[in-house]
Structure 1
Amino acid sequence: MFTAFVLDVLYTSKYTLPIENTGLERWGIIITLGGIFASLKLLHPRLSESDRTDTETALKKYFTKYITRLAALNAISIFNLICLNLTAIENFRYLAFLSIFALLLCAPSKTHIENETNIQE
């Protein structure tokens, strides 16, 4: 994603003229900030007690929830890169950087995975 961001910024700074589109810009800010919050907070992979029947099942459920979260953040990043490419508005450059930075916050630590998939008998 970072490579796509750099290439898109270089392309839009050279070949695309900024287009005034305040409606898209406002919705882009709302979608990006709301989507990052929802992905990091609401899609945080927490397992319920019924998901923790055994370690293999718990890891599969955790992985599925993590991939959903990662896909949501990738969709936000791609949305911002497409809008940057189409309009060359500076705010989409900053929003794309913010959404790519949020991908770094998405990665779980080893201790968190061990705590979530810990089977207590």
Structure 2
Amino acid sequence: MLATVADWAGGLCLVAGGLLALAAGIGLLRFPDVLDRMHAATKPQVLGVLLVLLGLALRLRTPEDLGMIALVGLFQLATAPVSAQMIGRAAYRSRRHDPALLESDDLAGRRPPPPASAGRT
């Protein structure tokens, strides 16, 4: 009985995680700005991966698998915010964002000069 409930809960987590990953993919295609796309690529994608991992953990239930799943979840939680920060910083510095979409620009006074054109020396 308990295994059946865990299997159903695992299946539900797998479906919910897949839907969140799908929403992240749709957001990457639909959002207009790199900063919006970065948000879509990190927030629902990380939650989707964690739900998929939880679903796997509920379905597999062996100590070896649970350890590997925990490591994957930890690495996902550690790398996604750092990569999002670096992507946002690079987009801001290279002026690949739409300033009109920003509510406030805390770095406006410290913005580096625009990059030189590739054709100029």
Could you state the TM-score of these two structures normalised by the residue count of structure 2?
Answer: 0.41
Rg larger in structure:
2
Higher relative contact order (CA 8 A, sep 6+): 1
